[in-house]
Amino acid sequence: MSERAKIAILGSATIDKIIKDLKISQKIGGTVIYGGITFQKHGLPTVLVTNIAQKDGRILKTLDQLGLEVISFPSEETTSFVNHYKGEMRWQEMHTKAAPITLEQALPVIRKVDHVHLGSLHPEDLVPELFEELAHNSCLVSLDVQGYVREIKQGQVQLKISDILHKVLQAARVIKADHSELEAILKSYRMDRETLKKVYGLEELVITRADMGGTVVAGETVRYPAELVPQVMDSTGAGDVFFAAYLAKRYHEDESIAESSRHAASIAAAHVAGRYLPVDALDLSPAPWRYVPITPKHPGKNLPMEPVYTSGWKSPNGMMKPGQRS
């Protein structure tokens, strides 16, 4: 690990397979990827702690070309999702799951950095012992809750509050959730926003709400506007980009909530418009892959469906969009 690293991001790097309009594509994804690139672009040396299978070594090569430092332990599989789109609806499957990130793997890293960013994509991404360690660590711990409001049932990704979320919240100082995720948490815990913040000692709740902008709940409540994107190129990872840009400004440059959220919305808008990352930087489409469906070819009544928006997207995101997993 580089002595320069200031931020460590923990979670699965993924292979995202997208089936839309009879077209199939795949790309590298995950909070660790989009968040890591964003922190780096803000001048913050970042190390990614993730597990990638040896057979997917080209992912590591791509990340190296992007200047990202990666610590990856052996895993039989790399986490992969299949995203299905039908009109303005989406359903999602998890096809493979990487080995969880262990305390042994992460401990040497989290003891050397100023900021640990938790980017789990499902409840088993990180071992619970990590949260106990982080709860007693003096570094900044930020959390995107998405991995702890998901259940993987027979390969299908469904909304459910994880039993382990309680421990994760105890370790965090700043959390991000989209409006629907936060409402599910508050309903499950029978709390309002202020109570959640007080009980878990959270400094800030960053709440995204698609084209309605969002809210940051801290010592004060600050609303921020969305930024119109006339033409969407790719919204994959927009929420990850938004949160990393916000954290970079707010906690590493000591900017105000209003300025940090405005900056993050602008960066996320540039991302979905194709002006932030090289368009094909994370593309894996040339590699052949065989899709074996876990769920039926089209969703039935019992499958989770989510609305997606194909045009007029505004940043930052709260809902999932075409090609977007987080």
Ranges under pLDDT 50 in the chain: 295-326
Give the model confidence (pLDDT) of 248-281 as tens digits. 999 999 999 999 999 999 999 998 888 898 768 8
Report which of 167, 117, 178 is spatially closest to residue 142, judged by C-alpha positions: 117
pLDDT, residue 1, reads 62
pLDDT, residue 4, reads 65
pLDDT, residue 315, reads 33
Looking only at the bridges linking them, the beta strands covering 46-50 and 69-72 are: parallel
E-strand ranges in the chain read: 7-10, 14-20, 23-29, 46-50, 69-72, 79-86, 89-96, 115-118, 140-144, 150-153, 156-159, 174-178, 204-208, 214-217, 221-224, 227-228, 306-307, 314-315
pLDDT, residue 229, reads 83
pLDDT, residue 296, reads 44
pLDDT, residue 204, reads 98
Ordered by where they begin, the domains of the chain are 7-280+305-315 (3.40.1190.20)
pLDDT, residue 286, reads 61
Record the pTM.
Answer: 0.86
39, 69 Cβ separation under 8 angstroms: no
pLDDT, residue 290, reads 53
255, 245 Cβ separation under 8 angstroms: no
pLDDT, residue 291, reads 53
Report which of 282, 261, 274 is spatially closest to residue 229, judged by C-alpha positions: 274
